[in-house]
Amino acid sequence: MEHIISVMVENKFGVLSRVAGLFSGRGFNIDSLSVGPTIDPTVSMMTLVTRGDDRIVEQIIKQLNKLIDVIKVIDLSEGAFVARETVLIKISAKGEDRAEALRITDIFRARVVDSTPATYTIEVTGDTNKIEAIINLLKPLGIKDLVRTGRIAIAREEIKTAVQDKPQDKKRFGT
Amino acid sequence: MKLNGAQIFVESLKKEGVKVIFGLPGGVVLKIFDVLYDYKDPEVILTRHEQGAMHMAEGYAKATGKAGVVLVTSGPGMTNTVTGLADASMDSVPLVVFTGQVSTSLIGNDAFQEADNVGISRPCTKYNYLVKDVNDLAQTIKEAFYIATTGRPGPVLVDIPKDVSMNQTEFNYPEKVYIRGYNPTYEGHKWQIKQAAEAILKAKRPILYVGGGTVFSNAFEELREFAEMTQIPVDMTLMALGSFPGTHPLSLGMLGMHGSYTSNMAIHHSDLIIAVGSRFDDRVTGKVSEFAPHAKIIHIDIDPTSIQKIMNVDIPIVGDVKCVLKELNQHLRASLDGRRKEELKPWWNQLEEWKKKNPLTYKQNKDQKIKPPYLIDRLYELTHDQNPIVSTDVGQHQMWAAQFFKLDHPRTWLTSGGLGTMGFGFPAALGAQRAFPGRLVLSIVGDGSFQMNLQEMATAMDYHLPVKVAIVNNGYHGMVRQWQDLFYNSRYSSSFLGQHPDYVKLADAYGAVGLRATKPEEVDGVIKEALKIDKPVLIDFQVDPYENCYPMIPAGGANNEMIMEDPPELRKKEKDKAGMKKAGNGEKEGVLTA
């Protein structure tokens, strides 16, 4: 099963190689990995997408925690989360294709970020399904180049029900 | 007052209470060695090879419980430490290894004797550092010792560029260290411990499966109290030998691939395994799917990654073995009563039956060549009252030593378990001897293993380290030959060591003492003579080259499927071989005694 794991690490040189080396050294899968700074300059956040059965994922999380530069590990897949990925797609777009490309861009609420007489570069952000879908639609036009960021993800806040029972109400109805 | 990096290095080591540094100088660490020239304390033990320095530091650390310290130069100096780092990682040995690095301005330029020390050592250290600024040096050294010696111990490497050792700054050694990503758990979870106590009280066929973690956490008293109170039999791993008295009636000895028949049968048929500081290594479990099929498992370990890695565990307890056993003992003391011994009686009857059926034993006739287990047994009988420290290399002799040299005291057993590093034993013994100058240190080695680090004979002479080295000389890489006997149709591909040095002359060449025994009746005399000599002694015990080590669980076999002796067809081949020219006994002797 796929797991998205959020790893809070020290913002030091060499940390990325420690994490990547852990995965290669122990034969764990790694589908994507993205790293970036946080609002705390001493801390970076990594989002890892990995696969494995329960025992392997448990090992992955424990092994990550064991790394001294890792401050916190959260398996986002255990709760609700939002995952997003950005992709830049450069397509050949001449003549009628240009209009078709723009239509597709519009449908997916993507944006054209660069344009030449023969190409468009399109930026799309979304979940994996959306990105796969737009790539499939743009393929017939001729994709010249494609870059993906890998997924980043964040846990959703717990949702409170719109109409909340007051404790005393509960008591009243319960008796 | 401002100090340069080299002075800060030495002063920091003094603050850490370091008495000995094992090492070898070179270009980029000359400044540090120059400063050390003025100090008696810490003392530098100059080794003949960096790998020797590493294993000496490991021997020192295992025998004392303190971190072993190594100082070597950049490039090849560092790369020669890699085997030692990997060995210490596998066996959780606390080491702090300082490597020189080219100046910060040259890093990455393929400078002379440059290597990516941090990159190379990353997967075989607990943590590593490149110190880029002299202002970070003291803090880094403090952290390095802290990380190496706390939690599950391990090696930490600190890479010091040449300019960092020359630059100056104020020296302030930090009192405390806080690393937010590193907080080992010592106290076990109370509820889990209670669960464990309940399971222990209910079990009908319980077994203690004790590992090296018991040694590192100094939990000997707690373990002994636990075992005696509950009357639970004790299986020890190779790493744990000495953590529970080997001569104790509750001890079943070592378990695993070459463990005793009883210890393996016991764990296979148990209904509750109490794993204490052990990690279900493949040499212990054999075939995992058939390991202890009826047992519930309680697993106590300070390293969470060890738990649930190989086996499904019913009651995991993350914590320091000593702390957890202490608390567990409290629970049990309150709830145990006299009936427990009665309840375990059928289990003990079964164990005694197994012991009687297949005890650890050997046969030695007068007219036979020396049988290695006989040799180990004699070494044991003639020295155990002196409570010696025993080191081994890796192979058949190691397994025989583990089987027949019964250790009653912790930190007296130095062996390379996880990595299985040949060449470990002799330098490790030197490190332990340096830590305990007055004690008897025995090094039981194979002829193949000893030749991997024999250059340290010079170090032994230089620093007067009177280690007694018993070479179990069978002229083969014995364990390789044993596997070839059992699984490769006795085709001895590259396991026969044709050309041998004359070990007596070799010892003589270094100024040490060489002795030799070729017959069983010579064994005692030679051992006694060696014990009288206050110098390193190399004893060449020329043993039966075809003796194999049993019991043996073939790789991938279950623990109740032990081979107890050579298969009949092998005996036949062996007899035929005795007449053969190549690899025959007679020829080997000729080479040795000519």
pLDDT (tens digit per residue) in B283-298: 999 999 999 999 999 9
Distances (CA, A) of B29 to B23, B109, B159, B160, B170: 11, 19, 11, 8, 21
Mean pLDDT of chain B: 94
Q: Rounded distance, CA B154 to CA A68, Å? A: 13
Query: Would you say B444 and B470 are in contact if contact means Cβ atoms under 8 Å apart?
Result: yes
Which amino acid would we find at residue B239?
M
When pLDDT is averaged across residues B102-122 and rounded to a whole number, the result is 97
Where do we find the tokens 């960096």? B50
Q: Is B113 part of the annotated catalytic residue set? A: yes
**Residue B108 in tokens:** 């990455």
* pLDDT the model gives residue B264: 97
* pLDDT the model gives residue A165: 54
First to last CA, chain A: 45
Rg (CA), chain A: 21
* pLDDT the model gives residue A170: 45
**Residue A18 in tokens:** 């420690």
Largest Cα–Cα separation, chain B: 78
| Residue A161 per-residue DSSP state | P
Q: Residues B7, B16, B33, B50: which is the catalytic one?
A: B50
B310 — contact with chain A (CB < 8 Å)?
A: no
Work out the minimum CA distance from A27 to partner chain B, whole angstroms. Answer: 13
User: Helix, strand, or coil here: A14?
Assistant: coil
Q: Kindly determine whether residue B305 and residue A71, on different chains, have CB atoms separated by under 8 Å.
A: no
When pLDDT is averaged across residues B4-26 and rounded to a whole number, the result is 98
* pLDDT the model gives residue A140: 94
CB contacts, 8 Å: B309 with chain A: 59
Q: Kindly determine whether residue A17 and residue B179, on different chains, have CB atoms separated by under 8 Å.
A: no
Q: Rounded distance, CA A118 to CA A99, Å? A: 12
Q: Pick from B118, B119, B147: which is nearest to A68 by CB?
A: B147
Residues in CB range of B284: below 8 A, 6 or more apart: B209, B237, B255, B256, B257, B278
When pLDDT is averaged across residues B351-367 and rounded to a whole number, the result is 94
B377 CA to centre of own chain: 20
* pLDDT the model gives residue A124: 97
pLDDT (tens digit per residue) in B388-420: 999 999 999 999 999 999 999 999 999 999 999
Q: Could you tell me the pLDDT band of residue B244, with boundaries at 50, 70 and 90?
A: very high
CB contacts, 8 Å: A58 with chain B: 308
pLDDT (tens digit per residue) in B119-169: 999 999 999 999 999 999 999 999 999 999 999 999 999 999 999 999 999
Query: Would you say B7 and B35 are in contact if contact means Cβ atoms under 8 Å apart?
Result: yes
ipTM attached to this prediction: 0.90
**Residue B327 in tokens:** 């608390």
Q: Kindly determine whether residue B179 and residue A68, on different chains, have CB atoms separated by under 8 Å.
A: yes
* pLDDT the model gives residue B337: 78
| Residue B294 per-residue DSSP state | T
Residue A175: pLDDT over 60:
no
- Chosen for mutation from B122, B125, B159, B301 (greatest number of chain A CBs closer than 10 Å) is B122
Query: Would you say B285 and B237 are in contact if contact means Cβ atoms under 8 Å apart?
Result: no
Residue B583: pLDDT over 60:
no
DSSP bridge pairs for B43: B20
Query: Would you say B134 and B168 are in contact if contact means Cβ atoms under 8 Å apart?
Result: yes
Residue B489: pLDDT over 80:
yes
Q: Rounded distance, CA A66 to CA A59, Å? A: 10
Residue B500: pLDDT over 90:
no
* pLDDT the model gives residue B499: 83
From chain B residues 18-77, the ones with a CB under 8 A of any chain A CB are: none
Which residue, B139, B93, B99, B138, is CA-closest to B117? Answer: B99
Q: Rounded distance, CA B512 to CA B498, Å? A: 25
Query: Would you say B234 and B266 are in contact if contact means Cβ atoms under 8 Å apart?
Result: no
SS3 readout for B219-249 = CHHHHHHHHHHHCCCEEECHHHCCCCCCCCC
* pLDDT the model gives residue B568: 87
Work out the minimum CA distance from B307 to partner chain A, whole angstroms. Answer: 9
Q: Residues B142, B162, B371, B406: which is the catalytic one?
A: B162
Work out the minimum CA distance from B148 to partner chain A, whole angstroms. Answer: 12
Q: How many CB atoms lie within 10 A of CB B81?
A: 29
Q: Kindly determine whether residue A68 and residue B180, on different chains, have CB atoms separated by under 8 Å.
A: no
Q: Is B50 part of the annotated catalytic residue set? A: yes
Q: Number of C-alpha atoms within 13 angstroms, CB side, residue B133?
A: 4
From chain B residues 178-217, the ones with a CB under 8 A of any chain A CB are: 179-182
* pLDDT the model gives residue B588: 37
* pLDDT the model gives residue B536: 98
B2-4 and B315-318 beta bridge pairing: unpaired
CB contacts, 8 Å: A68 with chain B: 126-127, 147, 179, 181-182
Q: Kindly determine whether residue B182 and residue A25, on different chains, have CB atoms separated by under 8 Å.
A: no
Residue A167: pLDDT over 70:
no
Q: Could you tell me the pLDDT band of residue B578, with boundaries at 50, 70 and 90?
A: low
For the stretch B538-575, what's the b/e string if a residue is b when 16 or more beta carbons lie within 10 angstroms of its beta carbon? Answer: bbbbbbbbbbbbbbbbeeeebbbebeeebeeebeeebe
Q: Rounded distance, CA B386 to CA B404, Å? A: 16
CB contacts, 8 Å: A21 with chain B: 122-123
CB contacts, 8 Å: B119 with chain A: 17
Q: Is B112 part of the annotated catalytic residue set? A: yes
Residues in CB range of B457: below 8 A, 6 or more apart: B506, B507, B510, B512, B536, B538
When pLDDT is averaged across residues B194-220 and rounded to a whole number, the result is 97
Largest Cα–Cα separation, chain A: 75
When pLDDT is averaged across residues B107-114 and rounded to a whole number, the result is 96
Q: Kindly determine whether residue B308 and residue A66, on different chains, have CB atoms separated by under 8 Å.
A: no
Distances (CA, A) of B363 to A162, B367, B520, B548, B552: 83, 12, 12, 12, 17
Q: Could you tell me the pLDDT band of residue B570, with boundaries at 50, 70 and 90?
A: confident
